[in-house]
């Protein structure tokens, strides 16, 4: 069955025709050409496809697109600010070595955003818990946790 799905994507209203068997990731990448969100395992195991739906992190590879009707979706592209300013999390990953090959990075950053939105001052264990659904083959996670912690510290300093 094919139907038109309407939702908000990175602050813009969108309408896409999709099939009932399609997952959100496929529609984001193949129909809407937002390829920042990665296809890793396709089975909800690696977190490379993480996006936010109504502020919560989800694995878009196993999220049926028909369920997205009327919801708010944020992808990694939606974090970039005016004049292509990187989001503080993106900057921190660059500055603190949280990126090596970069394949896990968009999903990792979206999970980190969901975490910091809920808990602006997480400790290292809470950060590890927050990104526990995201696998990284390169970094050993230390620099990733560091990258997220630096953003939390800066926000505390600005309060």
Tell me if 143 sits within 8 A of 98, measured CB to CB: yes
In which residue are the tokens 């230390």 written? Answer: 142
Which is closer to ligand FES, CB of 30 or CB of 155?
30
DSSP code of 97?
A: T
Residues 43/20, Cβ–Cβ less than 8 Å: no
Q: Which two tokens stand for residue 49?
A: 């496809």
Kindly state whether residue 93 participates in binding ligand FES, applying the rule CB under 6 A: no
| Complex with ligand FES: residue 132 or 156, whichever CB lies closer | 132
Question: Judged by CB under 6 A, which of 47, 78, 122, 130 binds ligand FES?
Answer: 47
Which of residues 137 and 154 has its CB atom nearest to ligand FES in the complex? 137
Task: Output the six-digit token pair for 144.
Answer: 């990733």
49 binds ligand FES (CB under 6 A): yes
Q: Which residues bind ligand FES (CB under 6 A)?
A: 39-42, 44-49, 59, 61, 99-104, 136-139
């Amino acid at each position: 069955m094919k139907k038109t799905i309407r939702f908000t994507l990175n602050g813009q209203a969108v309408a896409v025709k999709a099939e009932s068997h399609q997952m959100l990731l496929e529609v984001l990448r193949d129909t809407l050409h937002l390829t920042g969100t990665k296809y890793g395992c396709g089975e909800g195991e690696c977190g490379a496809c993480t996006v936010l739906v109504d502020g919560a992190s989800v694995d878009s590879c196993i999220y049926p697109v028909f369920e997205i009707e009327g919801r708010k979706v944020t992808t990694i592209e939606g974090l970039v600010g005016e004049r292509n300013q990187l989001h503080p999390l993106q900057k921190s990953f660059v500055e603190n070595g949280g990126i090596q090959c970069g394949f896990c990075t968009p999903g990792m950053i979206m999970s980190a955003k969901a975490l910091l939105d809920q808990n602006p001052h997480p400790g290292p264990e809470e950060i590890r818990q927050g990104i526990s659904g995201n696998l990284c083959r390169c970094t050993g996670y230390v620099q990733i946790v560091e990258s997220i912690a630096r953003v939390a510290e800066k926000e505390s300093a600005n309060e």
